[in-house]
């Protein structure tokens, strides 16, 4: 089918990934529908920032409610569904475990069941997570690495991941898991540590006397650039066969390095402006998270072009109003 005739449904379109994915699909000629729990009151600030708010049809859908999910999918009749909705904070999942399980696991199950019930041959993308692997112990995780979830968020994502595998194999659905490692952009809210660091460094460079307080600086993450990662989502649904893919840069860096390089962008010595607080450390904090994206490179032709240093430069430039 020609892309000009394709319809895509993006759940959680108001987030970073949903906005960039909507922009990508619009540029490819798709008709794009997006959902949030209450589209009438949601601000969709990310869509506004990308100047695409008027090009997307927005609908209310609660994925944890089967009737709501079935109604929207039946109405839209999408060719492709990108399921990005659900609780997104690992830290918050320890405080709200029930809501996390319901929004992520039950939400994914309801979409899969709606597709089965409607006998709709839509291709389905599920936003799995690198958190499913837990601590990779300095070894890059690939598609064969065992899951070791250490948070309610990771448990929920792992369960949803296996539901997708089950429906793919039991019901012959084109359903895939994108196991994405950390990916950032200026659309991230400040509750994410990368933006917390960048915005604090910028304010300090502008004369603020505040201190940036962080938890464990020794943790290492595989940081990439969000607009590149949503392209990988699309490529997964264009493949001949449904499969699961790790999406990552393949490089891991410590939070300490991220902080140091961010402050250096503003000609600051981070050691004079950053303090540590054990209370900001998560229970069961993952020390090392790194992905091996070789399968995506070989089968999808996808590879990251921006690494942590590149991401920091763009974020700092954006914070300074130069981007």
Please answer whether residues 203 and 268 qualify as being in contact, where contact means their C-beta atoms are separated by less than 8 angstroms.
no
From 153, 167, 202, 229, active-site residue:
153
Instruction: Print burial letters for 21-48: b (CB count within 10 Å at least 16), e (below 16).
Output: bbbbbbeeebbbbbbbbebeebebebbe
Could you say which of 103, 129, 130, 289 is catalytic? 129
The question of whether 129 is a catalytic residue gets the answer yes
Out of 80, 131, 184, 228, the active site residue is: 131
89 is catalytic: no
Residue 34: which H helix or E strand, with range? strand 31-36
CB atoms within 10 A of CB 102: 17
DSSP 75-138: HH--SEEEE--S---HHHHHH-HHHHHIIIIIHHHHHHHHHHHHT---EEEEEEEGGGG---TT
> Which one-letter DSSP state was computed for residue 282?
P
Backbone φ and ψ for 315, nearest 5 degrees, come out as -65, -40
Please return the burial class of 51, using the count of CB atoms within 10 Å of its CB with bins 0-12, 13-18 and 19+. exposed
What does the DSSP assignment read for 195-218?
HHHHHHHHHHHTT----EEES-SS
| Best CA proximity match to 56, nearest among 24, 95, 102 | 24
* Active site positions, annotated: 129, 131, 153
């Amino acid at each position: 089918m020609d892309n000009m005739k394709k319809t895509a449904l993006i759940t959680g379109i108001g987030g970073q990934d949903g906005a960039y994915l909507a922009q990508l699909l619009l540029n490819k000629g798709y008709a794009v529908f997006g959902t949030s729990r209450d589209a009438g009151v949601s601000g969709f600030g990310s869509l506004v920032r990308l100047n695409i708010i008027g090009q997307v049809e927005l609908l209310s859908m609660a994925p944890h409610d089967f009737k709501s999910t079935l109604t929207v999918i039946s109405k839209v009749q999408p060719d492709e569904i990108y399921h990005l909705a659900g609780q997104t904070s690992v830290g918050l999942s320890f405080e709200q475990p029930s809501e996390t399980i319901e929004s992520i696991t039950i939400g994914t199950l309801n979409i899969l069941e709606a597709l089965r019930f409607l006998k709709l041959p839509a291709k389905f993308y599920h936003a799995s997570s690198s958190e499913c692997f837990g601590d990779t112990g300095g070894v890059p995780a690939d598609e064969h690495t065992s899951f070791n979830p250490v948070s309610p968020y990771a448990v929920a994502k792992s369960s949803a991941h296996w539901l997708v595998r089950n429906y793919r194999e039991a019901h012959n659905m084109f359903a895939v898991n994108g196991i994405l490692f950390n990916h950032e952009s200026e659309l991230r809210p400040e509750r994410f540590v990368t933006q917390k660091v960048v915005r604090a460094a910028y304010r300090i460079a502008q004369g603020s006397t505040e201190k940036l307080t962080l938890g464990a600086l020794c943790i290492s993450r595989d940081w990439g650039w969000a607009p590149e990662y949503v392209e990988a989502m699309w490529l997964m649904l264009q493949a001949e066969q449904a499969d699961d893919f790790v999406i990552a840069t393949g490089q891991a860096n410590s939070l300490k390095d991220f902080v140091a390089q961010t402050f250096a962008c503003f000609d600051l010595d981070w050691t004079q402006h950053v303090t540590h607080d054990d209370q900001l450390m998560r229970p069961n904090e993952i020390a090392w998270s790194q992905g091996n994206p070789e399968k995506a490179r070989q089968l999808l032709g996808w590879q990251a072009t921006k690494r942590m240093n590149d991401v920091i430069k763009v974020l700092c430039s954006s914070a300074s109003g130069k981007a």
